[in-house]
Each structure stands twice: as structure tokens, then as C-alpha cells.
Structure 1
Amino acid sequence: MSGQLVGYARVSTVAQDAGLEGQLKTLEGAGCTRVFEERVSSVDLPAREKLAEALRYLREGDTLVVTKLDRLARSTGHLHDLLGELEAKGVSLKVLDMGVDTSTPTGKLIFNLVGSIAQFEREIMLERQREGIAKARAAGKYKGRKPTARAKTGQVRQLQSEGMGATQIARKLGISRASVYRILADLKIDSQEIEGSW
């Protein structure tokens, strides 16, 4: 039994309305009987309510249709999470501009290859990053990330000696209360003095 074709269209901003209209026409032309649309950034995943709604709506045998992959997923990892969720529901994914449909063996193979290549590229990038850091360390040029809270030790001590409490110090210096406590502990400020000043 063939299921329903369900479309998903997305643009990042209101200024891209023409792009949204284009996606809607393409999805309608592809035979989608229901389309979920939204204007939201690809990185702002929690706010993608219509995508979540589309995923809830889909039933076994249905196909989720998008015009391009970047309209659906924010990364390869996110794409594979979505594919896993769709597969668990018995739903296929069709990407129109790639001509790929995961309901076919070829479509599944292409997606697996895309995922494998992306993972390989990430591992190479991380290896190069590690090598670069090792070389910089050997040359005495790599210092690591500057500890921002620790760099404010003098200011924390000064403000504490003026009777300012941890919350006030943290707010004033833009660091966490935990950092304030750690700095004062490193300075070996008497615990009673610390507690008494907050």
C-alpha cells in the first residue's frame, strides 16, 4: 500500500518568501498532498516546530519530500538522526534536487555514502587540528584557550575584599559564581570569610 507524499519547506527569514513560494510550488508539483512550511534558521533546531509536527504527522508507508537537503537538516549528523527516526516509522525520504529516494536500494546507498564521506572528512579535519596543535606546542606557540575567569583573579580578590558578594562579583565581571568560589578557594581565603561576605 503506497502512502502519502508529505512535503516540508523552510526558509531562514521573511525576506526569503520568494524562495518559500518556489519550494511550495515544487512540492505541490511533486504530488505532495500535505505540506508543512516554516521560516526559521537551520541552526535554530528547537524552534523548528513545523518539522516536528511533520514528523509526528507521518505514518508508515508515507514519504517526506524536500526540495533540497539543506532545507531539512542542519548537518550530516542531524540528517542521519532524522533518517533513523523516519526509518523507525517506516517512512521514506525523497530529496528532489538530488533525485534520491530512500525507499529504493540506490537511494539508501547514496545516503550511506554521503554519511560515510562526511564522517571521514570530519576525522581528517580533527586529525589535522591535532597535528597543528602538536606542532604549535613543539614550537612554543600554542598556549591553549585563555582561562577567562582565572584571568580575573585580581579583580575577584579586590571586589571580595571590598565586601562584595559572590553573585555581585560574578555579575560585575561576567563570570559564574562557581568561578568566583574557585578563585577565592585558590587564594586560600578563609571559608568563614567567604561565607560571611555573601
Structure 2
Amino acid sequence: MRYGVVRESPSLPPPAVQRRLLDGAACDVVLQEGQPTPEAQRRLARLLFGLKPGDEVLVHSLDVFQRSTGELAQLIRNFLEVGVSLRIVGDRAEGEALKPEQNVLKVLSLLAEHESRRPSRTPPGAGSRFNSGSRNALSKYQVDYARKLYREGASLRSIGLLFQVSPNEVWAAIGDQA
């Protein structure tokens, strides 16, 4: 089965252009994703990791997946190990195909293994994506509420889950005044 993936992104052409190219490439199913959200990423990941041998994924470019180079290597390695072909359509309907061949699989396996062994590439002190450059990841009101919860016996983990930050970020925000 041929799956096409269309995504909205500043680095990609408009979705209508992507869809026209994928329709021209005779996709059986075209998945159109809006702006990238965590839920949309999970849905797409479930689909991509559930493909069967002989399936083919068509995309305008690798930007559609919105993953790091290492994550792309792991995804493509999974495709090739399962027997799924990846075709990058670009600006022409015939595109470039990446089929499960031994040398490609070996290179991608090495890259994916290397990436999985690497520690996080987040620079020290950068915090999570919720930090956005501010000193505290939580607002003043969230910090006050987190302190109250901590004094009442809530764990840093449960407070972190409530505010969607790590326990370390909770501790950094409430600190000694808990």
C-alpha cells in the first residue's frame, strides 16, 4: 500500500502542492497533518511504526517527519528492516526511492545506533522546551501552588506531571523555599 504524508510547515510547500504531487504519484492513502502537535506526532509515529513489508511511504521531503537527523536515521532503519520503501517526491512525481538494500541498511543502522547511544544534545542549563529562555519554567502562581503541594507531601514527580515539566525543573523553581 502507498501512503503519502502531507504536513503544514514553513520549510515545506503549501499542503495543496504536496497533496497534488502525492496524488500524481498514485498514493492509496494520503495523510494530511496540520501544525505539528505532540498528539499529531504520536498518531503519525503509530502509523509509521505499524507499516508492513511492501508498503511504501511517499513524502515531499524528510522535513515532513519533523525529526532530528538521528531520529530520522532510526525511523528509516525501521522502514528498511521491515521492508518498507521510502520515496521522496520533491518537485517531481517520480521522486527518489530508498529501498531496503544491504549497504543502505548498514549505514542507517550504524547512524541510528550511534544516535541512540548519544546523550541528550540539549546544552547544559538549557532546560526543557517549556523553559523558553526564562529562568523559571513555571509562572509565579504555578510556583506558589507547587510549593503548597510539596509542603503537603506531593512528590516532585507528581507536581512535574501536573505542570508538564521535569522534577528537576520543579525543584529548581521551588528550591529552598519549599
TM-score where L is the length of structure 2: 0.53
Q: Does 1:73 align with 2:66?
A: yes
Q: CA RMSD in A?
A: 4.7
Cα pair distance change 1:95/1:36, threshold 3 Å? same
Q: How is 1:116-155 mapped onto 2 (pairs within 5 angstroms)?
A: none
Q: Does 1:82 align with 2:75?
A: yes
Cα pair distance change 1:36/1:96, threshold 3 Å? same
Amino acid at match of 2:59: V
Q: Which has the higher contact order (CA 8 A, sep 6+)?
A: 2
Shift of 1:76: 0.6
Q: In 1, distance between residues paired with 2:68 and 2:47?
A: 19
TM-score where L is the length of structure 1: 0.48
Q: In 1, distance between residues paired with 2:49 and 2:150?
A: 47
The equivalent of 1:22 in structure 2 is 17
Match of 1:167 among 123, 133, 148: 148
Match of 1:61 among 54, 57, 80: 54
Q: Which runs of 5+ in 2 are unaligned?
A: 124-134, 137-145, 152-168
Match of 1:6 among 3, 6, 17: 3
Amino acid at match of 1:108: V
Q: Which runs of 5+ in 1 are unaligned?
A: 130-146, 149-164, 185-193
Amino acid at match of 1:100: E
Kindly name which structure, 1 or 2, has the bigger radius of gyration based on alpha carbons.
1
Runs (4 or more) in structure 1 with deviation over 4 Å come to 104-107, 177-180
Aligned length: 133
